[in-house]
Amino acid sequence: MFLAQLKLTFREKQAWFWGIFFPVILMVIFMSIFSSSSDSDFSAKVAIVNENPNATSNMLLEQINAIPVLEETNELVSRETAEEMVQDQEVNAAIILPTSEDDTSILLIVNKEDEQGVTTQALSGILNQFVQQANLFAVGATPTYELQFESITSGDTELSYTDFLLTGMIALAIAQGGMFGMVDLVEMRRKGLIKRLRMTPANMNLFGLSDMVMRLLFSIIQIMLLSLIGVLIFGANLYINFPSLLVVFLLGALSFNALGYFFSSFSKTTEAYMGVANITSFLMMFLSGVFFPIETMPSWLQPISNLLPLTYFVEGLRESMVYSTSVFSSALWSGVGIMVLWGVVTFVIGSWLYKRKSIVATR
């Protein structure tokens, strides 16, 4: 059955595109969008307005020029010009310095459309800290405490968002391959091939399992090809624990193949199958930590994410490919267990539906 499934797949030219080339195209597009500026140091371009230079404004201007993340325009501009630059998005913000020595306010002007953006929030935080330091300096106080920041990881200190995104895209590609890959079973049923198979001694459970195992070949090609592209083209860093990766990959790929097998068991047409698979894939794509950590999502959405199998597949691949987590880690196995539970339940239900249809067809 495995060899028969393999021959059927290789005869379908579209299988090569949807199984191998489409995930590559998808990953290149998403990584080009999401990782283009993620690894670079933060900087913001600002326009400085000092229309009435005085001792206070000059002192503040000197200190602002010393902030390394702020890229000032080449020359001071008027407030009217600065506002136009903000409106035209030529700069991220404009800083209006005090117009007199007694004035104690610094005005930050931002574009309304970018008010809730990351750059605006970062600029607001930077200037708030700057004002606090200026207040301490004005009263002659010396700061006693300071916050120092250091990040560590179990993998390597060079880990970046590109590494995070690469493993998420690999998990998404393998999951989509499993969920969309069983559409041929629906087509076989439409053509009457499944009915003919039921008239033979063929075991439908083994038939479905052989198709799932055959899909592993495509998943192996996917994970190798996508990893090479991520490392060689996008500069990702992988620190692989091969035993952990083998466990997560095999169980994850089979689980999502089982999910696709379940979709095919109740879908009467190809369109119905693709509709269910598309909705499921779209839901998990944005709620399973592929593009950003689940912890950053609204609190009411996080319980939903914790129910999705892709969440644990993404975490498992990330642990084994980026953080080099041992195969004996309890956290790794708890996530894998939930993912496998999804696979077992959907495969059992799918097999029962195929068997039920087989009994009905013989009556």
Phi, psi at 20, each rounded to 5°:
-125, -55
Q: How far apart are the first and last CA of the chain?
A: 27
pLDDT tens string for the chain (363 positions)? 778 777 776 776 665 666 667 777 877 887 777 665 544 556 778 888 888 888 888 888 888 887 777 777 667 788 888 888 888 888 888 888 888 877 778 888 888 777 767 677 777 887 787 777 777 776 666 666 555 555 555 554 455 778 888 898 899 888 888 888 777 778 777 787 777 877 777 776 777 677 777 778 878 888 888 888 888 888 888 888 899 999 999 999 889 988 988 998 888 888 888 888 889 988 898 888 888 888 878 888 888 989 999 999 999 999 898 888 888 888 889 999 999 999 999 989 988 887 776 555 544
- Enumerate residues 6+ apart whose C-beta is below 8 A from 179: 256, 259, 260, 263, 277, 280, 281
Angle CA 204–21–342, to nearest 5: 40
Please give the C-alpha separations between residue 64 and each of 68, 94, 123, 132, 213, in angstroms, as whole numbers: 9, 12, 12, 13, 62
Cβ-Cβ contacts under 8 Å for 286 (sequence gap 6 or more) = none
In this structure, what DSSP letter does residue 72 have? E
SS3 94: strand
Q: What is the dihedral of CA 241, 246, 248, 253, to 10 degrees?
A: 150
Instruction: Provide the whole-model pTM.
Output: 0.68
Domain 44-138 has CATH 3.30.200: no
The torsion angles phi and psi of 288, rounded to 5 degrees, stand at: -115, 15
CB contact at 8 A, 29 and 74? no
Domain borders along the chain are 2-37+160-362, 44-138
Which residues, at least 6 apart from 81, have a Cβ–Cβ distance to it below 8 Å? 47
